[in-house]
Amino acid sequence: MAFSPKIWIVLVALGGYIFISRLRTWHRLRHIPGPPLVGFSKAWLLRKALGGRFHLDTAEVCEKYGSLARLGPNELVTSDPNILRRMAAVRSPYRKSEWYDGLRFEPEYDSMISERNEERHLELRAKCAVGYSGKENDYLEQSIDDNIGKLIHLLDTKYLSTSKEFKPVDMARVLHYLVLDIISDIAFGSAFGSLEADEDVSSYIETMDTMLPLIILLGTWPALAKIFFWKGLRRFMPKDTDSFGMGKLMGIGKKVVGERFGPDKKVKRDMLGSFLAHGLTQREAQTETLLQIIAGADTSATAMRATLLYLTTNPAVQSKLLAELNSTSISSPITDAESRRLPYLQAVIKEGLRIFPPVTGFMSKTVPTGGDTLNGVFVPAGTTIGWSPFALMRSEKIWGRDARVFRPERWLEATGEERSRMDGLVEMCFGYGRYQCLGKNIALLELGKVFVELLRNFEFQLVDPLTPWKNFNAGLFLQSDLWFRVTRRVPSF
């Protein structure tokens, strides 16, 4: 079919406009290196974000092109800790980018993590900070101990193998049950009961397997997020009356929070009780409760799985940890204070977080008005800069030639200023400055206990060392099939 001359003029003009627009976009950040053609479209960024190994793809970019590299028309990535601190400092002029719009778990409401208004974000942090610290939870440590005890009981009664019987256990799944029960128990005083049932009673795992790839897509493509959360489409969005998926989790949060209001309200000294005591409204509490579950469960579960995998595949490390535990008088279960006094245990925890940081979302910030000069490179205003935690935590320039080796001894060999520097770097797994994760202390408390209790009770043998697990990255990690043969350890500490 032949086009008329007018249509040809329109098509040529449109093509010329698109070409010039793309050329201008490329030109704006042309001085910052990156993979071929990333300055002209988001194709590379979208493909990698949905490919399941974004944590490694961005690390490879930083390794090849430098600690400040280009990933898209307006997107940069960095593995430079100084740039990350500059962007997240308390008085930094940088602001959250549109990437955070994709982290909105409910169509009409922002949680602390998705809120882009800085005043509102800081207000929510202030209301929640004491609750996350555990200072107003009389049973924080006891709740963690009780739920780890349920994990030990589950393994002991259902998954112990013998010379005559093989009962493999997917530790990826049961560790997820553990953290779900812990966070629900300390958040609103009642565990989901996944460990006792040995199943995902809240449907959380199935929900996040579906939702996380969508969340990372919306963050990478903010224009799609605007469409997705458009008011006209909200009747198709998850609702708290749903019997499955995100809606079911919203319903759980609404029910739990609702019990704290009205004439017959429950009053408890747990995290939710602290939130309300410090001014969180009922609607705010519903949203933050949902965030507690999502942020507190997946990250801790990943840290536990990865560290357990590295421990069980490094016999020398496991032997040193067992020797430290055997040579020290510790309680059963170990207390938080005791675990923090064990240098090798703490080195194992830090090394686990370093070698496999559990949060890999892009977390991009927007360069402020007037632009900024970073390491001698001018970056125009409006540019977004995300981070690559795997590039940072596995950088040979920062950690030495053996940066990709799981070696807890590096924490004991460092002294003084060097150790403080390393501690500061690994803490960036939890964010920095005004964006640091409020649940950091709870996560460290869990990690300080779980490996001791698992190793004092059991010996773990990977079923398939060549393919130890299924691991898909979607900002957080979707992990499964971490199969172990578990046998009883002769008690010695």
Known binding-site residues equal: 437
CA distance 439 to 134: 9
Task: Indicate the DSSP class of residue 386.
Answer: E
Structure tokens at 360: 């890999």
Strands 458-462, 377-379: pairing kind: unpaired
Q: Which residue has the tokens 């049961």?
A: 174
Q: Are 428 and 84 in contact (CB under 8 A)?
A: yes
- Asked if residues 249 and 293 have their Cβ atoms less than 8 Å apart, the reply is yes
Tokens of 263: 């004439």
The CA R_g of the chain, rounded to the nearest whole Å, is 24
**Which residue is it, tokens 């778990």?**
105
Q: Tell me, what amino acid is at 129? A: A
Coil, strand or helix at 270: coil
Cα atoms in the Cβ-side hemisphere of radius 13 Å centred on 121: 16
Binding residues for heme: 437
| CA 149/CA 140 separation, integer angstroms | 14
Q: Cβ neighbours of residue 483 under 8 Å, at least 6 residues apart?
A: 168, 169, 170, 171, 462, 463, 464
How many Å apart are CA 472 and CA 209, to the nearest integer?
A: 10
Query: In this structure, are strands 384-387 and 75-78 parallel, antiparallel, or unpaired?
Result: parallel
